[in-house]
Amino acid sequence: MDTAYFLQQLINGVTLGSVYGLIAIGYTMVYGIIGMINFAHGDIFMVGAFIALISFILFALTSIALPIVLLLTLLIAMVFTACYGWTVEKLAYKPLRKSFRLAPLISALGMSIVLQNYVQAAQGARIKTLQPVIQGGFTFMEDTGFTVSLSYLQIFIILVTIVLMAVFTLLITKTALGRAQRACEQDRTMTALMGINVDRTISITFIIGSSLASVAGMMFVMYYGVIDFYIGFLAGIKAFTAAVLGGIGSIPGAMLGGLLIGLIEVFWSGYISIEYKDIAAFTVLVVVLIFYPTGFLGKPDIEKV
């Protein structure tokens, strides 16, 4: 019974962790390249979830096979949400690149309020329920009195996350774009002198980050089946915690942090208290920032005069 319960929590934790990890990549990439906390990223994730929801509803009217629907929804969500990420960067962050340090954060805060209320105005404030898209799954350890289930949906979420992670890690480490990005992280002026379009590189970073967040949004809406305009706030803070825990600026770190936050949250609600499950994530955030601000895979941040 105990092992079975533990195993079930583990499966749920890894699933949730995949979602957080995908959002955390967006935070970590943006922080790495322009050194700001993109506070509106959680709301980009929410927009992605809404676009995926709309796409699922529209495809439900047609008779296209399920794998194609999933693939198309994935692409649609990524493309449209990337537009949001790109526009937000152009409107709210790009003019502030040379401003004082807290200006982009405050602007991001404003953008987050705008996105939330815009979606509320356009789509209504009530929660949206989606019929399950992928049903069924495996069950095992039935004889112990507590059935452990691993649904096809959970397998799908974990697989897609692994595939996307692999693709984007290759993109960052092996391609010219990835080199340009890493160069911008180190020194933007030098990179510009080397003939790299810094503005474009930053835009692409936002596009990648938002499209990964939209995948997370699509999985969120499939996994929980209910969304509203406010989901981005909590998910955003938790994903940011994941990014910090893994070491901000590091992409494998973001994934690792996401997994850990997912597991901590699920085990906390499974074993300690479900009412205070959000406090778990916040406590981790506070503790990590105070005692271990570089995270697991991050570089130390030394302030120079």
Partner 1 sequence: MRKNFLVSSIKDSLFTGLIALALFGPIVGLRTVAKNEVLVVSPKWFIVLVIVIVCALGRFLTNLYIYNRDQKYGIQSTVGKSITKFLDTKGTQIALSAIIFSVIFPFLPFTDRYLMDIAIMMLTYIMLGWGLNIVIGLAGLLDLGYVAFYAVGAYSYALFAIHFGWSFWICLPIAGIFAAMFGVLLGFPVLRLRGDYLAIVTLAFGEMIRILLLNWYQLTKGPDGLTGIPRPSFFGLPFKSFPEEGEQTFHTFFGLEYSPMQRIIFLYYLILVLALITNLFTIKIRRLPIGRAWEALREDEIACKSLGVNPRNTKLTAFAIGAMFGGFAGSFFATRQAFISPESFTFIESAIIVAIVVLGGMGSQTGVVLATVFLIGLIEVFRDFESYRMIAFGGAMVLIMIFRPRGILATRKPTITLHKKEVIK
Stretch that binds partner 1, among 14-22, 91-99, 133-141, 171-179 (CB under 8 A): 91-99
Q: Does 53 bind partner 1 (CB under 8 A)?
A: yes
- Nearest distance in Å: CB 167, partner 1: 23
75 touches partner 1 (CB under 8 A): no
Least CB distance from residue 103 to partner 1, whole Å? 5
| Among 7, 10, 72, 130, contact with partner 1 (rule: CB under 8 A) | 130
Q: For residue 40, which phi and psi values (nearest 5 degrees)?
A: -85, 0
User: Taking CB under 8 A as the rule, does residue 268 contact partner 1?
Assistant: no
Q: Examine residue 128 and tell whether it contacts partner 1 (CB under 8 A).
A: yes
Pick between residue 93 and residue 183 the one whose CB is nearest to partner 1.
93
**DSSP line for the chain:** -HHHHHHHHHHHHHHHHHHHHHHHHHHHHHHHHH----TTHHHHHHHHHHHHHHHHHHHHTS---HHHHHHHHHHHHHHHHHHHHHHHIIIIIGGGTTS-TTHHHHHHHHHHHHHHHHHHHHH-SS-EE---SS--EEEE-GGGSS-EEEEHHHHHHHHHHHHHHHHHHHHHHHSHHHHHHHHHHH-HHHHHHTT--HHHHHHHHHHHHHHHHHHHHHHHHHHHSEE-TTHHHHHHHHHHHHHHHH-TT-HHHHHHHHHHHHHHHHHIIIII-STTHHHHHHHHHHHHHHH-TTTTTPPP-----
Segment interacting with partner 1, rule: CB under 8 A, options 18-26, 165-173, 253-261, 276-284: 276-284
Look up residue 124 and give its amino acid: G
When binding is defined by CB under 8 A, the residue of 63, 176, 275, 302 that contacts partner 1 is 275
Interaction between residue 276 and partner 1 (CB under 8 A): yes
In this chain, which of 8, 15, 18, 116 binds partner 1, going by CB under 8 A? 116
51 is a contact residue toward partner 1 (CB under 8 A): yes
Is residue 112 involved in binding partner 1 (CB under 8 A)?
A: yes
Q: Which residue's structure tokens are 């992670």?
A: 165
* Total number of residues that touch partner 1 (CB under 8 A): 68
Tell me whether residue 53 or residue 256 sits nearer to partner 1 (CB atom).
Answer: 53
Beta carbon of residue 56, minimum distance to partner 1 (angstroms, whole number)? 9
Task: Quickly count: other Cβ atoms within 10 Å of residue 126's Cβ.
Answer: 9
The least CB distance from residue 144 to partner 1, in Å, is 32
For position 68 contacting partner 1 by CB under 8 A, the verdict is no
| Contacts to partner 1 by CB under 8 A | 36-37, 47, 50-51, 53-55, 57-58, 79-80, 83-84, 86-87, 91-92, 95-96, 99-107, 109-114, 116-126, 128-131, 233, 237, 240, 244, 275-276, 278-279, 282-283, 285-286, 289-290, 293, 301, 303, 305
